[in-house]
Amino acid sequence: MPEYDLQDPTDVDILRGQFNMLTADEWQEYIEIAEKRNKHYKTVNILKTAQRKAGIGKYLSPKVLNWVMSVVDELDAEEDEE
């Protein structure tokens, strides 16, 4: 995942756009993958929060958006390794 400057409005908009592209069903798949891999409960909880806010990323802070998208990238990278 590229490094985003959370103080730059353009970077925050890009991050928010990536978040908004994922549907609630796709978030559910990520939650199931995280639970299957016994990820930390905070990781699973942030994915559940993302599922509830699917499509409305404007209600999440840039810091949370960055965190949740890095979790998604981590899960995708692990999936590619298998």
Burial class (CB in 10 A: 0-12, 13-18, 19+), 54: middle
- Indicate the range of 1-5, 17-21, 54-58, 68-72 predicted with least confidence: 1-5
Domain range for 17: 10-81
pLDDT of residue 38: 92
Place of tokens 């639970």: 35
Angle value at C-alpha 6, between 54 and 16, nearest 5 degrees: 20
Contact, 22 vs 53, CB < 8 A?
A: no
pLDDT of residue 16: 95
Give dist(CA 4, CA 25) in Å, integer.
26
Q: Is residue 16 part of a domain?
A: yes
This prediction has a pTM of: 0.88
pLDDT of residue 82: 67
The type of residue at 36 is K
Domain count, the chain: 1
Q: Does residue 80 carry a pLDDT above 90?
A: no
Q: Is residue 57 part of a domain?
A: yes
